[in-house]
Amino acid sequence: MLNLVLFGPPGAGKGTQSQKLIARYNLVHLSTGDLLRAQITQGTELGLRAKKLMDEGLLVPDEVVIGMIGSALKDNKQAAGFIFDGFPRTVPQAESLDRLLAEHETNVSCMVALEVDEQELVTRLLERGKTSGRPDDQNEDKIRKRVTVYNTETAQVAGYYAKQQKFHALNGIGAIEDIFSQICGILDKHAAAAPASSKQATDEVKA
């Protein structure tokens, strides 16, 4: 099974690359924001708990988020792998994800972080804000704060995966296809080093 933790600051092109990776490797995209909204809409126990906390202005605790990811893994047992989008954001979350994946007899294959300098991100997001309608894409101060938060979070998690020799940083500025090719090179390398069952599943997807 091929499991990618994909990181990138707002505006780095993470969404574009995710869609291309999903199409090539038949991966399931797991975004914690999407999972939260889906669980709340479905009225599940986890969703109701998360909604109550969010309505009170509180952060959803790690165990609830991990629980939602666990449910998604169970619902997609036949998947060739997963893209974890922007999660984990802390070392404790990374440790919890490792334990969860181990229960499903798999693990994180690698973490890829798309690096883009702050001014380029500001330019991209302000341009995106003209059509996205998102207020946080239209305010430069808010954009810079989001980038700062991302950099702080990533530094810790990057170190965690670097110790496992799974962390890769890529320049997020350039042609979309060139960046995609580099990510695929990293994934293929880790897939080749994976246990036979995971490698076979990946080979079948690419055939």
Domains of the chain, start order: 2-187 (3.40.50.300)
The reply to whether the predicted model has a pTM over 0.95 is no
- pLDDT band at residue 195 using 50, 70 and 90 as cut-offs: low
**pLDDT confidence of residue 198:** 43
Convert the chain into a string of H (helix), E (strand) and C (coil): CEEEEEECCCCCCHHHHHHHHHHHHCCEEEEHHHHHHHHHHHCCHHHHHHHHHHHCCCCCCHHHHHHHHHHHHHHCCCCCEEEEECCCCCHHHHHHHHHHHHHCCCCCCEEEEEECCHHHHHHHHHHHHHHHCCHHHCCHHHHHHHHHHHHHHHHHHHHHHHHCCCEEEEECCCCHHHHHHHHHHHHHHHHHCCCHHHHHHHHHHHC
133 assigned binding-site residue? no
93 labelled binding-site residue: yes
Q: What is the pLDDT of residues 17-44, one digit of tens each?
A: 999 999 999 999 998 888 888 888 999 9
Is 58 assigned a ligand-binding role in the annotation?
Answer: yes
**Tens digits of per-residue pLDDT, 51-65?**
898 888 787 888 888
Residue range 71-97, pLDDT digits in tens: 999 999 999 999 998 789 889 999 999
* pLDDT(202) > 60: no
Using the predicted structure, report yes or no on whether residue 68 has a pLDDT greater than 60: yes
Q: Does 146 belong to an annotated binding site?
A: yes
User: Is 12 within any annotated ligand binding site?
Assistant: yes
Give the active site residues: 14, 89, 128, 134, 146
